[in-house]
């Protein structure tokens, strides 16, 4: 078993705001091995984006990390404690070097007044020892690799001259040109048309196979995850409530929230069934429910238990964990609390 590429333990993050201290991420732990695609799924307010940004310490200044939080990067035998990185040159290792990130809105990620080519070259010059000429050649190659036709011409164009799908591809090219070990993709296909989305997803899978990197794929779209990811972690209001392989979580969801979420998705194969939403509304982050964060909307809640005690992560089957008293009770495998 490969040692994990990145290991997140007990990550807890709060934001200082006018309204008080808001908990965005609560005791989140997971890990990624090289070559694996992990899907981080959740609705708005689940904390998935914030978690991803923590890996590169990209959160705004009012973010307060708890002292137990730990993020450890292992590259070619060397371990790096991300929270210990202080100076800009140290952070450079992580940001854009070993880890790259692509975002939902590619228009917002590219500087509008600089050509795409210049931005890609700048990225390469910052993170590698290439000469400018080498960087240009390598960038054009990457553009071709992601399926942008007529790459040498496109290289000299500006972001607004690209269509949405092409911009996303260019962003992938830019992110991958430094050969990162981990690619964080934050809702990369949400803003794309469905036919373009299919193309981009295929591209990402090919690149993973070719470059051997890991992808942390953040999205709210379980369909995309089902077709792309190897493993899934489901988040709700800052907690990871279920993890497992894609098959386990989607075909045998253990946590009531996952079950509710899967039921709410309109499926083409089941046009006769009515849509069943998860009852209630997401509580405001200022009002985190005591005990299990989901209990206020859970139809299977156990009175006296779920509203006062916080469920710990229990293993239901090999590789399949859930933080839920109901799931614990109904699992027939042995259960051990995962610290």
Partner 1 sequence: MNDIPLVSTKNLSVFFGLGRKLFGERQVVRAVENVSLDIPKGSFFGLVGESGSGKTTLGRAILRAAPITGGHIKYNDGEVDYDVATINKKQLKDYRKRSQLIFQDPYAALSPRMTVRDIIAEPLEVMGLTSSRRETDERVREMAAKCRLNLEHLRRFPHAFSGGQRQRISIARALVCKPRFLVADESVAALDVSIQADILNLLKSLTDEMGITFLFISHDLSVVAHVCDYVAVMYLGQIVEEAPTRKLFSRPRHPYTAALLSAIPSLDPDDEQDAIKLEGEIPSPLSPPSGCRFHTRCAHVQARCQSESPQWRKIDDGHFAACHFTDELKL
Partner 2 sequence: MAEIAPTASSSAADLAEQRRKEAYFTAGQLQLIWARFKRNKSAMWGGTVLISLILMGVFAPFLSPYDPTISGRDKEYQNGAPQIPYFWDENGFSLRPFIYTSSRTRSAKTNFRWVSQVDKDKRRFVELFVRGWDYYFIDLQLDIPGDAFDVNIQLFKSNLHLFGVNEGYIHVFGTDGPGKDIFSRTLHAIYTSLAVGTIGVMISFVLALIIGGVSGFYGGWLDSILQMITDAVRTVPAIPLFMALAAFIPDEWSAELRFAFISIILGLIGWPTLARRVRTHLLTERSQDYVLAAKLCGASPGHVIRRHLLPSFTSYIIVDLVISFPYMVLSETALSFIGLGLKDPVNSLGVMLQNVTKTDVLLNYQWYFIPVIFFMALVMAFVFVGDGLRDAADPYSGHK
Site residues, partner 2 (CB under 8 A): 18-19, 280-281, 283-284, 286-287, 289-290, 295-296, 307
Given the complex with partner 2, which of 137 and 284 has the nearer CB atom? 284
223's contact among partner 1, partner 2, none, with CB below 5 to 8 A by partner kind, is partner 1
List own/partner pairs for 271-275 with CB under 8 A and 24 or more apart: none
Residue 268 engages partner 1 in binding (rule: CB under 8 A):
yes
Going by C-alpha positions, the residue among 247, 324, 326 that lies closest to residue 337 is: 324
Q: How far is the CB of 225 from partner 1 (least distance, A)?
A: 8
Tell me how far the alpha carbon of residue 326 is from its chain's centroid: 27
Per CB under 8 A, 144 contacts partner 1: no
Instruction: Determine contact, residues 68/11, Cβ cutoff 8 Å.
Output: no
Q: Taking Cα atoms as reference points, which of 41, 36, 21, 73 lies closest to residue 240? A: 41
Compute how many other C-beta atoms are within 10 angstroms of the C-beta atom of residue 261: 20
- DSSP code at position 95: B
Residue in 64, 111, 264, 318 binding partner 1, rule: CB under 8 A: 264
Which residue in 140, 215, 222, 241 binds partner 1 (CB under 8 A)? 222
Query: Residue 4 binds which one of partner 2, partner 1, none, with CB within 5 to 8 A depending on kind?
Result: none
Residue 202 interacting entry, from partner 1, partner 2, none, C-beta within 5 to 8 Å by type: partner 1
Is the CA virtual torsion 135, 141, 145, 149 positive or negative? positive
Q: Is 223 in the site for partner 1 (CB under 8 A)?
A: yes
Q: By C-beta, is 64 or 209 nearer to partner 1?
A: 209
Q: Are strands 37-41 and 231-236 parallel, antiparallel or unpaired?
A: parallel
How many residues bind partner 1 (CB under 8 A)? The answer is: 44
Phi, psi of 112 (to 5 degrees): -70, -25
- Kindly state the tokens that stand for 246: 């894609």
The contact mask relative to partner 1 for 25-64 (x = CB under 8 A, - = no) is ------------------xx--------------------
Q: Report whether 255 contacts 233 (CB < 8 A).
A: no
Radius of gyration of the chain (CA): 21
Under the criterion CB under 8 A, does residue 305 sit at the interface with partner 1? no
Which residues make up the interface to partner 1 (CB under 8 A)?
Answer: 43-44, 163-166, 193-199, 201-202, 220-224, 226-228, 246-247, 250-251, 260-262, 264-268, 271, 274-278, 281-282, 284
């Amino acid at each position: 078993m490969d040692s994990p590429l990145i290991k997140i333990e007990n990550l807890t993050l709060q934001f200082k705001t006018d309204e008080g201290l808001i908990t965005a991420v609560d005791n989140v732990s997971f890990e990624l091995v090289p070559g694996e695609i992990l899907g981080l799924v959740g609705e708005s307010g689940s904390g998935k984006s914030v978690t991803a940004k923590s890996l590169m310490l990209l959160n705004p200044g009012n973010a307060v990390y708890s002292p137990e939080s730990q993020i450890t990067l292992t590259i070619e035998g060397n371990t790096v404690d991300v929270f210990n990185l202080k100076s800009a040159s140290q952070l450079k290792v992580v940001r854009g070097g070993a880890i790259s990130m692509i975002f939902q809105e590619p228009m917002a990620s590219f500087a509008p007044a600089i050509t795409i080519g210049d931005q890609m070259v700048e990225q390469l010059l910052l993170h590698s020892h290439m000469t400018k000429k080498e960087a240009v050649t390598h960038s054009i190659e990457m553009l071709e690799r992601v399926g942008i036709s007529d790459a040498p011409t496109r290289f000299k164009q500006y972001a607004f001259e690209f269509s949405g799908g092409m911009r996303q591809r260019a962003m992938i090219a830019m992110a991958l040109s430094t050969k990162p070990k981990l690619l964080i993709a934050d809702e990369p296909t949400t803003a794309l048309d469905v036919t373009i989305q299919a193309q981009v997803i295929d591209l990402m899978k090919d690149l993973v196979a070719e470059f051997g990197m890991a992808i942390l794929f953040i999205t709210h779209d379980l369909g995309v995850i089902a077709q792309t990811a190897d493993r899934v972690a489901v988040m709700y209001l800052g907690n990871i409530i279920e993890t497992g392989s894609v098959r386990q979580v989607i075909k045998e969801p253990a946590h009531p929230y996952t079950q509710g979420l899967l039921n709410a998705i309109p499926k083409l194969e089941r046009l006769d069934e009515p849509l069943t939403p998860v009852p209630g509304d997401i509580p405001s982050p200022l009002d985190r429910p005591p005990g299990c964060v989901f209990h206020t909307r859970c139809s299977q809640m156990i009175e006296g238990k779920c509203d006062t005690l916080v469920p710990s992560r229990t293993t239901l089957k090999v590789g399949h964990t859930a933080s839920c008293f109901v799931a614990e009770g109904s699992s027939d495998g042995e259960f051990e609390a995962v610290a």
